[in-house]
Amino acid sequence: MTSQLPAFIILLPLTAAFGAFFAGWWFRKAVYPLVVGVLGLCVLLAGGILHAVFDHGSLRYFLGGWPPPVGIELHVDSLGAFMLTLVSSLSLLAAIYAKPSVETELADRVALFWSLYLLLTTGMLGILITGDVFNLFVLLEVASLSGYALVGIGRGQALLASFRYLIIGTIGASFYLIGIGYLYAVTGSLNMVDLGRLLPPLYGTRAVQAAFIFILTGFAIKIALFPLHAWQPDAYTYAPSGISVLIASAMAKTSLYALIRLLFAVFTVDFITVYRPLFNFLGWMAALSMIAGSIFAIRQRNFKRMLAYSSVANVGYIVLAIALVPATLQGLAPALVHILNHAVIKACMFMAAGAFIYRFDRWDIGEFTGLGRRMPWTSFALLLAILAMIGMPPSAGFVTKWYLVLAIIEAKQYPMVAAVFFSTLLMIVYFWRVVEIIYVRPERSPVPTAVRVEEVPLSMRVPCVALGIATFAIGPVWMAGILTPVVTAVNTAFGLGGQAP
Amino acid sequence: MEALWEQILTKANYWMTIALMMVGLYAMITKRNLVKKIIGMNILQTAVILMFISIGAKRGATIPILKHGDAAAAHAPRAVDYINPLPHVLMLTAIVVAVSTLGVALALAVKIYQQNGTLDEADILARQVPRSHEGGP
């Protein structure tokens, strides 16, 4: 039974996506319960998979009974199981959160929205469980195409933003496909485990080097690393609130997972050790991303756009952690820590941003005056997330920076420490401005004597506050070492490092 | 010069792939008309598809269909006699992906045209009322 869990976790949302589409014709009321029910089941399944992976090692399911390398394999290792739990929970929370805003914005097309939403979730969960590089491409496109359509639903310039996202995203996907083509041409295999075994004797060949560059560039576009981030701020800004939450937290992390899987399972750490200068270059790009993203964020007046640029900076943190892997004993620990932390923090922030738009139609940071008293719960959650992002001690962001700086010092790349601190300073500049306006600056006119509390509906508030509290709860969880087995298992699976937090 | 010609002729399929890719990328980057960008995107995807197909080709090989019946079981298939079918199968899927992408892109282009009355990217950006929150790159 447990060996079939990976198949169920994509079959369920996939069939439900069609179910939601048809339910939209006949039982309009059944659509939303179906979506939440299915996503809830996915969370349970992901929990079951996580449990099974830690009891019996990685789950491998051969589709159609064809063993690899001939058949397509679903392969969930500890990293995949960890990400499955994260992504399915975020999808569920974002679905609960999105309900009120979707119903007001898209009156008669709600069923289509949820159908696409489930397809996006299917694509993301599929990326996390597949063990085949071509299958990964297809699922990446399933997720991306639903993502383009969902971004296009938004207001303002959403259509053009979505179009640009599509054009640039397709370039990224095509680069990845070319990379796979080269790998297939030299090895004749598409299975990740098999490729990892066949590639070492071929590390010196041009085809493998070119494949590496194409795959790296393709994913750099998908994760919006600094010079290739142009699509991302528009897409995050104009997407409907619920979709901003999902693509900024879960979708971005899924692409990062795919990059990590390709780098460490297909190319392995030995390849990276051979081409260290290239990896150091990646580290410098990440540092540039951290600083440039923060500088652009300072210039923004639109809150969602500022968060989008902040995501560019934070992807820089994760990529820097990945680039340091061959030089430290911590392996992927700092990267994993920040993938979880940033997903939770950014989801909470985008939920707060969406709540401000839903209740008061305010997206300009300058207009946020008085929100601290009008929307106390949402503002408090946002405050917690901002403190966690800046890195106040027991919070999630503090743990990230702690492990990242330790890794940098271990790798003896001291300029990077300066980059981390500088980008943190810039973060304080642009996030503290928001806190100041929400809580301190008085409302212009008229000065209300008794401010009415006008909170968003409970279904929007609860996920937001829950994630806000989680940003501080995760810090102690990491420090207490509750998630250490996950990190250790991931590092062992990829043959990295030794220590874990 | 001789060596270069040999490079080009023996690896003609790869050169063609790269040339097509560059055409596609050029159109996607420089054209202002959204439909031309879509055409560029399609050329890029086709270049990748053709590259995969050319990987599977072999000199003097035939299509990989085994005839059932009479003596089929007698002579076991020799791999060298058949072109590699796997890239073709992969590309069937990639074509489906490319067509879906094209569909979404055209749908977006239609919507953009309905909203703005033009498909020229610069015109669309100029038509949008400059709003303060859109500052920055």
B135 vs A233, more confident? A233
Query: Cβ contacts (< 8 Å) between A166 and chain B: which residues?
Result: 101, 104-105, 108
Please give the pLDDT value at position B101. Answer: 94
Q: Is B114 on the interface with A (CB under 8 A)?
A: no
Mutate to test the interface with B, among A159, A184, A187, A430 (most CBs of B within 10 A): A159
Q: Is B112 on the interface with A (CB under 8 A)?
A: yes
Q: Is B89 on the interface with A (CB under 8 A)?
A: no
For each of the domains in chain B, give its residue range(s) and CATH number, in order of start: 2-59+82-130 (1.10.287.3510)
Query: Cβ contacts (< 8 Å) between B25 and chain A: which residues?
Result: 171
Whether B93 sits inside 8 A of A134 (CB atoms) is: yes
Please give the pLDDT value at position A456. Answer: 82
Kindly give the interhelix angle for A158-187 and A133-152, rounded to the nearest 10 degrees: 180
Q: Which two tokens mark A397?
A: 């962001």
Q: Is B55 on the interface with A (CB under 8 A)?
A: yes
Please give the pLDDT value at position B56. Answer: 82
Strand partners, B120: B33
Q: Is B124 on the interface with A (CB under 8 A)?
A: yes
Please give the pLDDT value at position A154. Answer: 83
Q: Which two tokens mark A271?
A: 């390849």
The residue behind tokens 């973060």 is A427
Q: Is B106 on the interface with A (CB under 8 A)?
A: no
- Give residue limits of the domains in chain A: 282-501
Instruction: Tell me the pLDDT of chain A (501 aa) as tens digits.
Output: 677 888 899 999 999 999 998 888 888 888 889 999 999 999 999 999 999 988 888 888 888 888 887 888 899 988 999 999 999 999 999 999 998 888 887 777 888 899 999 999 999 999 999 989 999 999 999 999 999 999 988 887 889 999 999 999 999 999 999 999 999 999 988 999 899 888 888 888 888 999 999 999 999 999 999 888 889 999 999 998 889 999 999 999 999 999 999 999 898 888 888 888 888 889 999 999 999 999 999 998 999 999 999 999 999 999 999 998 888 888 888 999 999 999 999 999 999 999 998 888 888 888 888 888 888 899 999 999 999 998 888 888 899 888 999 989 988 888 889 999 999 999 999 999 999 998 888 876 555 555 667 788 888 899 999 999 999 999 888 888 888 888 888 888 888 765 444
Spatial distance between the Cα atoms of A267 and A278, rounded to a whole number of angstroms: 14
Please give the pLDDT value at position B73. Answer: 56
CA end-to-end span of chain B, whole Å?
Answer: 46
A109 vs B95, more confident? B95
Query: Cβ contacts (< 8 Å) between B121 and chain A: which residues?
Result: 160
Residue A148's closest chain B neighbor by CA? Answer: B104
pLDDT beyond 80 at B79: no
Torsion of CA A126, A132, A135, A137, to 10 degrees: 90
Query: Cβ contacts (< 8 Å) between B93 and chain A: which residues?
Result: 134, 138
Query: Cβ contacts (< 8 Å) between A149 and chain B: which residues?
Result: 104
Q: Which two tokens mark B136?
A: 């920055």
Q: Where are the beta strands (DSSP E) in A153-281?
A: none
Q: Is B50 on the interface with A (CB under 8 A)?
A: no
Q: Which residues of chain A have a Cβ shorter than 8 Å from any chain B Cβ?
A: 134, 137-138, 141, 145, 148-149, 152, 157, 159-160, 162-163, 166-167, 170-171, 174, 177-178, 181, 184-185, 190, 230, 233, 296, 299-302, 305, 309, 363-364
Give me the residue from B41, B124, B137 closest to A160, CB to CB.
B124
What ipTM was estimated for this complex? 0.89
Whether A152 sits inside 8 A of B108 (CB atoms) is: yes
CA distance A321 to chain B (A): 27
Please give the pLDDT value at position A500. Answer: 42
Cβ-Cβ contacts under 8 Å for A42 (sequence gap 6 or more): A9, A12, A13, A88, A91, A92, A121, A125
Are A337 and A400 a contacting pair, CB within 8 Å? yes
Residue B92's closest chain A neighbor by CA? Answer: A138
Spatial distance between the Cα atoms of A379 and A411, rounded to a whole number of angstroms: 39
Query: Cβ contacts (< 8 Å) between B45 and chain A: which residues?
Result: 170, 174
CA distance B1 to chain A (A): 22
CB pairs under 8 A between A and B: 88
Please give the pLDDT value at position A327. Answer: 81
Mutate to test the interface with A, among B17, B55, B96, B101 (most CBs of A within 10 A): B101
Mean pLDDT of the B63-70 span: 69
Residue B100's closest chain A neighbor by CA? Answer: A145
Spatial distance between the Cα atoms of A394 and A378, rounded to a whole number of angstroms: 21
